């Protein structure tokens, strides 16, 4: 036994649950969450096999699911649409009675204070599954796509969306959408930009959920190289300059360093992290095999986003996590 006196004993503050809570640096709460909903035409629900517990929803079922979120203290949902028909342009994306437009109106009629966010991209709506219009060689046309994105954002705002969230990583997308919204009189509608979106292997289950896998090729020409961080900050800087009101980093868990870098570079900006489908599916699969404690693992992962600097977390775990936190 040493004869010196220990002046500093960090374990003193870990001795009881109450002491640990008093010394806790970061917390996660239901009002940090945004809950994704996949909306389709028709009735009822269609389970998504690669995402246990998540379904494709009719408009009526989307309202039911949104109510669950609201009652648990989750303040926002983000809507992804699955159209009745797909075409080279994705016409239902900006149709007055498109599936997302129907869902916005129905959700806001029942839950006027719930924040309705809409994903703005072409991939779920086009028959080729890419994030923009294509030329005859199959290349994504950046500038020609911007008008479609602006028309889609305006259509969502007309239906009652509170926030629009462009996700296609087209250069200039935030500026084009801002111009389109302002010209249509929607100067108050914020833009939550998928400013930093990587060409990730973690999106696989989402492509099942949204029926949005590309029919050929990949998205590496517009989504970011997973090796790059400095480029992420440049992307975010451009979006801020174009008028973004929120920034987002996607995926989440493999990119906590990028979340931290974005937080440090843009301390004034609200920052969201997307806890994506592959991250969700991995935890669900491990929990189903009793390899991990689902509740403890999910809450630890969500806390990791907050510790890295995220203000908001888009997560498929939102309802379960909100119940556990209560």
Instruction: Report, as residue numbers or ranges, the catalytic residues.
Output: 197, 250
Please report how many Cα atoms fall inside a 13 Å half-sphere around the Cα of residue 265, on the Cβ side. Answer: 18
Residue 62 CB coordination number (10 Å): 26
Q: What is the bridge-based pairing of β-strands 246-250 and 192-197? A: parallel
Three-state secondary structure along 138-182? CCEEHHHHHHHHHHHHHHHHHHCCCEEEECCCCCCHHHHHHHHHH
CA distance 310 to 318: 15
Cβ(294)–Cβ(283) below 8 Å: yes
Reduced to 3 states, what is the DSSP secondary structure of residue 81? Answer: strand
Please report how many Cα atoms fall inside a 13 Å half-sphere around the Cα of residue 133, on the Cβ side. Answer: 13
């Amino acid at each position: 036994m040493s004869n010196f006196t220990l002046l500093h004993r960090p374990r003193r503050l870990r001795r009881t649950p109450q002491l640990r809570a008093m010394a806790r640096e970061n917390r996660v709460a239901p009002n940090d969450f945004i809950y994704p909903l996949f909306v389709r035409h028709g009735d009822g629900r269609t389970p998504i096999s690669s995402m246990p517990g998540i379904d494709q929803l009719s408009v009526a079922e989307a309202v039911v699911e949104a109510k669950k979120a609201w009652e648990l203290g989750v303040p926002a949902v983000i809507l992804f649409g699955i159209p009745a028909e797909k075409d080279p342009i994705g016409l239902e994306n900006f149709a007055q009675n498109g599936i997302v437009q129907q869902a916005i109106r129905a959700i806001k009629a029942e839950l006027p204070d719930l924040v309705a966010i809409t994903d703005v991209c072409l991939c779920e709506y086009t028959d080729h599954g890419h994030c923009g219009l294509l030329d005859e060689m199959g290349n994504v046309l950046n500038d020609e796509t911007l008008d479609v994105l602006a028309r889609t954002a305006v259509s969502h705002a007309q239906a009652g969306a509170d926030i629009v969230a462009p996700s296609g990583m087209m250069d200039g997308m935030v500026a084009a959408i801002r111009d389109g919204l302002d010209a249509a009189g929607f100067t108050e509608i914020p833009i939550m930009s998928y400013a930093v979106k990587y060409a990730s292997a973690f999106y696989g289950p989402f492509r099942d959920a949204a029926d949005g896998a590309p029919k050929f090729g990949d998205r590496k020409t517009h989504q970011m190289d997973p090796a790059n961080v400095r480029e992420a900050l440049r992307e975010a800087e451009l979006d801020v300059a174009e008028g973004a009101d929120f920034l987002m980093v996607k995926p989440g868990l493999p990119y906590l360093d990028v979340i931290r870098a974005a937080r440090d570079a843009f301390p004034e900006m609200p920052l969201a992290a997307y806890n994506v489908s592959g991250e969700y599916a991995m935890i669900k699969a491990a929990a189903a095999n009793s390899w991990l404690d689902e509740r403890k693992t999910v809450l630890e992962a969500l806390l990791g986003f907050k510790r890295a600097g995220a203000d908001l977390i888009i997560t498929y775990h939102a309802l379960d996590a909100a119940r556990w936190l209560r």
